[in-house]
Amino acid sequence: MKLPTTYAVLLACLSACLFAVTATGCNPAPPATPAAAEATAPPVHIVPLPQSVDVQSGELQVSGAVALEAPEAAPNARRALEELLSTLGLAQDASAAIRIRLQLVDDAALPDEGYRLRVGEGIVLVARTDAGLLHAVQSLRQLLPAQAQPQYRLPRVAITDAPAYSWRGSSVDVARSFLPVEYLEKHIDRMAFFKLNRLHLHLTDDQGWRIEIKRYPKLVEIGGASAVKGGRSGWYTQEELKHLVAYAQARGVTLVPEIDMPGHVQAMLASYNELACDDEDNLSTYDGLEVGFSVLCLSKPDVVYPFVRNVLEEVLAIFPSQEIHIGGDEIKDPLYADFVARTAAMVREMGRTPIAWEEGSVADTGPDLMLQLWNEGYAIDAAVAKGHPLILSPCTYFYIDHGNYAGQPQTYDWCRKEGVPLQRVYSFDPARYPTAVGVEGALWSELVHADATADDRLWPRLAAVAEVAWTPADRRDYAGFVQRLGALRPHLDAMGVRYHPEPDLGWGNRDSGP
């Protein structure tokens, strides 16, 4: 159909404006290039929003095969790119007209995880590290469709990007209810798609112990067989965990183990009764929902500390993560502060950096102890003044065991009765805390007993966690986020994610969820 000229110009302007809005995350900006050329270019939808996206005129068409150039020193990015090409049915052929080049450069202007991505006559991905290149590949993946097509059209674009925060985390509680290795692999893939880089495994709690410790086999024989009522029991062998560590590493994700102590230890006490005080008569496994009732007998240091050291030695031999979480939440005990200080020192002696939940701030430790904030009401100012780095998981924003909406079945609301909807997660600004290293969305599993339920609670909210951690608040806006994330739905579908059908994204209505 031939449109009258004025309409055609108007339409071209409109789509160019829309496109500019998409590319910049809804910051109204004048189109940089002639409207007519942009009107035909495919849009840029990247989550988390990159530092800068410079859309140029025209597009790059790709079909059949591409020539791939990749340095030996970036094996993970190469593997990710090859996987992407194979998903899209693009062959590798050194003589193909379109070249994709992965390039490592020694450029001090690029932060560790930073990258540049240029789509012009070919595609060039540049970074200082394999991790940076991995992020570049994920951005390229988001510029392309989720599934194979006869031909691909890419916008000509120059992206420069780097994260605001180094800790972009997801924590999963596998202790209350177990998650199988296959689920965690999928979860790591999905995290990597959104450039999340820390998977914190809450491996132990009252209701279960999930990590094989060879020196203390009863921990999994007894503690591994237990779970919250209705939840899944089970445990990971050391081999499985080493496999997961490598799987995650290849995708730019670090697994951070947590052994929660000195409270939240009923599974531990039930397995090795000597860890309890002698007058303690409640030594069976536990499948209820209460917290704060069990504690290691800190007045028996000769029993407790060697046990803790032996466990940590095995944990550290599995997990190369620099940071190791020692728990420390929700327990009142006169020797609590002493326990945190001694255990943190133990981790430090072993060459790692301890993390404790925020209550650990009462311990007399150096400022290198990282604290994970979960309760905004907690007096954290002194710890901040002392310089403790903070991982931010305030429950009113990041406890995604809370509902996607108020009253969602099988969710907690003790921290926020309106639940923690997508927009709420997105509205957090980590810059409120000067020593923040990043943020982490926490999925507790008292009420999350199946993979599909975990998917519903994690997604799409973790995409908001990713953008909060990656993109500074002054560049973010919810409308732009919703538009970009909404467009990535086919990618989530292709990854098999059973996400919450979030109405804000146009993905469904409240009744269509599980």
Asked if 398 is part of the footprint of ligand TNX (rule: CB under 6 A), the reply reads no
Interior/surface letters 449-482, b for 16+ CB within 10 angstroms, e for the rest: bbbebbbbbbbbbbbbbbbbbbbeeebbeeebbb
> Cis peptide before 514, with omega less than 30 degrees from 0?
no
- Which of 152/412 has CB closer to ligand TNX? 412
- Which of 378/507 has CB closer to ligand TNX? 378
What is the x/- site pattern for ligand TNX, positions 350-369, by CB under 6 A? -------x------------
Residue 220 CB, nearest approach to ligand TNX (Å):
21
Token pair in block for residue 269: 């006490």
The residue count for binding ligand TNX (CB under 6 A) is: 10
- Residues from 18 through 77 that contact ligand TNX (CB under 6 A): none
Alpha-carbon distance of 84 to 509, in angstroms, equals 32
Cα 318 → chain centroid: 20
Best CA proximity match to 116, nearest among 60, 63, 177, 160? 160
Alpha-carbon distance of 328 to 336, in angstroms, equals 8
- Which of 143/259 has CB closer to ligand TNX? 259
> Cis peptide before 367, with omega less than 30 degrees from 0?
no
- Residues from 277 through 306 that contact ligand TNX (CB under 6 A): 291
Q: Write the CB contacts of 376 (distance below 8 Å, at least 6 apart in sequence).
A: 394, 395, 396
Token pair in block for residue 134: 């991995």
Among 401, 455, 456, 502, binds ligand TNX (CB under 6 A): 401
Among 307, 374, 398, 470, binds ligand TNX (CB under 6 A): 374
Residue 505's identity, in one-letter code, is: L
Residue 252 CB, nearest approach to ligand TNX (Å):
26
Asked if 330 is part of the footprint of ligand TNX (rule: CB under 6 A), the reply reads yes
Residue 391 CB, nearest approach to ligand TNX (Å):
12
Residue 135 CB, nearest approach to ligand TNX (Å):
30
- Which of 152/374 has CB closer to ligand TNX? 374
- Which of 457/484 has CB closer to ligand TNX? 457
Residue 375 CB, nearest approach to ligand TNX (Å):
7
Residue 136 CB, nearest approach to ligand TNX (Å):
35
Alpha-carbon distance of 356 to 378, in angstroms, equals 14
- Residues from 137 through 196 that contact ligand TNX (CB under 6 A): none
Identify whether the C-beta of residue 23 lies closer than 8 Å to the C-beta of residue 45: no
Q: Write the CB contacts of 339 (distance below 8 Å, at least 6 apart in sequence).
A: 261, 262, 296, 298, 328, 333, 363
- Which of 339/412 has CB closer to ligand TNX? 412
Residue 72 CB, nearest approach to ligand TNX (Å):
43
- The dihedral sign for the CA sequence 501, 466, 344, 386: negative
Alpha-carbon distance of 333 to 346, in angstroms, equals 20
Asked if 329 is part of the footprint of ligand TNX (rule: CB under 6 A), the reply reads yes
- Which of 330/504 has CB closer to ligand TNX? 330
Residue 202 CB, nearest approach to ligand TNX (Å):
8
- Which of 38/401 has CB closer to ligand TNX? 401
Asked if 412 is part of the footprint of ligand TNX (rule: CB under 6 A), the reply reads yes
Question: How many C-alpha atoms does 179 have within 13 Å on its Cβ side?
Answer: 27
Residue 204 CB, nearest approach to ligand TNX (Å):
11
- Which of 59/401 has CB closer to ligand TNX? 401
Rg (CA), the chain: 24
Residue 293 CB, nearest approach to ligand TNX (Å):
12
Residue 371 CB, nearest approach to ligand TNX (Å):
11
Cα 292 → chain centroid: 27
Q: Write the CB contacts of 9 (distance below 8 Å, at least 6 apart in sequence).
A: 35
Asked if 440 is part of the footprint of ligand TNX (rule: CB under 6 A), the reply reads no
- Which of 132/231 has CB closer to ligand TNX? 231
Binding site for ligand TNX (CB under 6 A): 291, 329-330, 357, 374, 399, 401, 412, 444, 446
